[in-house]
Chain A
Amino acid sequence: MIRIACIFACILSATALPAPGQDASLDVPKSVVAGTAFSIPAAGSGKATLYIAGPDGVLKRDVQLGQPIAIAASDLDDAGHYIAVLASDSSSQTAQFDVIAANQPASISFLARPSRLPVDLQNGITGAVYVFDSYGNLITSPVPVNFELSVASAPAQTRTVVTNLGAAWTGMNSATKEGNAKFMAQAGNVSATRVIEQVPGEPCGLKMSAQKVGDKLNLVTEPLRDCGGNAVSDGTIVTFTETWDGGQTTVDVPLKRDIAQAEVPAHMGARLSVATGVVMGNEIRWEGKE
């Protein structure tokens, strides 16, 4: 009986690799920081092959049992879950371990939106950040990220947000004055900056005057400003409308150097109005003089 058992054992041990599922445990650290050297004790004698495998990397190395197996810092730098197998002719030892991202940020992915927006918009600017270590691993442990939105004419807005699973976001208000803003995100010693163009908002208090020139009326707006006093962008379309008995004239003109002007026929008793976008201006009834 014992002899039969021995024969089976000998046959099994003679197969090239041991049957999976009958593995002994291999002594590997439960987790290793990416890019850190470590060693794996390898008891026994003779030769074996070490395999380390996972979606993020694979190693295969012939080793001498009885000596610790050195894993160099450069061997495993991608964060992930790995299985380790030490396979010899007579035994197989396995273990699972994690390579985790280093805590020191080395790069950030910073998405800021929009690149252009009107002034004075609450939470109109958003920024989202992902933080990575020097090996491109997402740092999933909490990391404080400083966001700063600065313009020349006002104090900077700042926020500190701690990452959750490597991600952080914030919302910022656009400034009341037009101009470029620098939107910066910083984690550790690394930062990224995006430029946000803040343009004037809708015109505030659109007002025109009329003056007779020959048999025409010259309609001119006052310089167009938004509610923060910023000049409305040239090219903004302003619509003048003249309505009189029996007819209507509409003229669309682009804003030029802050004002818009147009000529319409001078009809006695005509009603003149002006608008741009959703903003209505004043109305004039032409009775020969304004």
Chain B
Amino acid sequence: MIRRILVLGTVLAASGAFAADQPSVQLEPTNLRGPRPLAKQTETAVVHDYLQAWQGMAAAMDQNRPDLLDQDFVGEAREKLAATIAEQTKLGVHVHYQDRTHDIKIVFYSPDGLSIQLVDLIEYDEQVLDHGKVVAVQPVHVRYVAVLTPTEVQWKVRILQSEPL
């Protein structure tokens, strides 16, 4: 059974550039590895924060502003994305990501409660621009693996990595 997350509007609409095109989101039933049960509130918060991270990443990549990553990313994920933005800036390139669909499944909640891993079958459009000129637009369908860790007030993405379908 697939549940549909309906309550995403507030967060997603908050990022102005993408307000018109909110992704559709499906949440697969969790089939966790590990002994720790996942509370409903935790699941909701993790999915919410993960989707928000996509919006933050898209805005940061589109505007070449690494500071926009701070809200949603920590550690390795933040460093890698910031490095990409630095390179984009150097090359005069920026990339516009528009996520279309997410099909999310939480797969691992570590026994200590300090990390949650999810997989996301995602479809997005990637538009590459060189000094403002569109070089290419490509639809992408890929599987992402993300690891989120709790911070004071929210879950942040520590690992974000795609892998072949």
Taking a contact as CB atoms closer than 8 A, the residue among B84, B127, B137, B159 that contacts A57 in the complex is B84
Which residues of B lie under 8 Å from residue A166 when comparing CB positions? 117, 145, 159
- CA gap between A60 and B137 in the complex, in Å: 16
- CA gap between A126 and B109 in the complex, in Å: 12
Stretch in contact with the other chain, from B8-16, B21-29, B42-50, B86-94: B86-94
- CB-CB nearest in chain B for A140: B163
Which residues of B lie under 8 Å from residue A136 when comparing CB positions? 76, 80
Interface string of A92-111 (1 = CB under 8 A from B): 10101010110000000001
Q: Let me know if A31 is at the binding interface, CB within 8 A.
A: yes
Q: Let me know if B30 is at the binding interface, CB within 8 A.
A: no
Q: Let me know if B5 is at the binding interface, CB within 8 A.
A: no
The verdict on A53 contacting B162 (CB below 8 Å), with A92-B136, A165-B117 known, is no
Which residues of B lie under 8 Å from residue A17 when comparing CB positions? 130, 133-135
CB distance from A26 to the nearest CB of B (A): 10
Whether the Cβ atoms of A83 and B136 lie closer than 8 Å is yes
Q: Let me know if A55 is at the binding interface, CB within 8 A.
A: yes
- With an 8 Å Cβ cutoff, the count of chain B residues facing the other chain is 46
Whether the Cβ atoms of B61 and A55 lie closer than 8 Å is yes
Question: How many A-B contacts if CB must be within 8 Å?
Answer: 142
Interface residues of A in 76-133 (CB under 8 A from B): 78-81, 83, 85, 87, 92, 94, 96, 98, 100-101, 111, 113, 123, 126-128, 130
Whether the Cβ atoms of B136 and A31 lie closer than 8 Å is no
- CA gap between A222 and B88 in the complex, in Å: 73
Interface string of A146-171 (1 = CB under 8 A from B): 00000000000000000011110101
Q: Let me know if A21 is at the binding interface, CB within 8 A.
A: yes
The verdict on A138 contacting B145 (CB below 8 Å), with A92-B136, A111-B112 known, is yes
Q: Let me know if A6 is at the binding interface, CB within 8 A.
A: no
Whether the Cβ atoms of A79 and B115 lie closer than 8 Å is no
Q: Let me know if B103 is at the binding interface, CB within 8 A.
A: no
Q: Let me know if A23 is at the binding interface, CB within 8 A.
A: yes
- CA gap between A53 and B84 in the complex, in Å: 9
Q: Let me know if B160 is at the binding interface, CB within 8 A.
A: yes
Taking a contact as CB atoms closer than 8 A, the residue among B108, B112, B127, B137 that contacts A167 in the complex is B108
- With an 8 Å Cβ cutoff, the count of chain A residues facing the other chain is 47
Taking a contact as CB atoms closer than 8 A, the residue among A55, A60, A137 that contacts B97 in the complex is A55
- CB-CB nearest in chain B for A52: B128
Whether the Cβ atoms of B134 and A81 lie closer than 8 Å is no
Whether the Cβ atoms of A138 and B135 lie closer than 8 Å is no
Whether the Cβ atoms of B114 and A111 lie closer than 8 Å is yes
Residues of B within 8 A of A (CB): 33-35, 57, 61, 76, 80-81, 83-84, 87-88, 91-93, 95, 97, 107-108, 110-112, 114-115, 117, 119, 126-128, 130, 133-138, 140, 142, 145, 147, 159-164
Residues of A within 8 A of B (CB): 16-17, 20-21, 23, 30-31, 49, 51, 53-60, 78-81, 83, 85, 87, 92, 94, 96, 98, 100-101, 111, 113, 123, 126-128, 130, 136-138, 140, 164-167, 169, 171
A-B contact pairs, 12 of them (CB 8 A): A20-B135, A31-B164, A55-B162, A58-B93, A80-B162, A85-B136, A100-B163, A111-B112, A127-B111, A166-B117, A167-B117, A171-B35
The 6 residue pairs across chains A and B that have the minimum distance between CB atoms? A126-B111, A128-B110, A113-B112, A81-B162, A20-B137, A85-B136
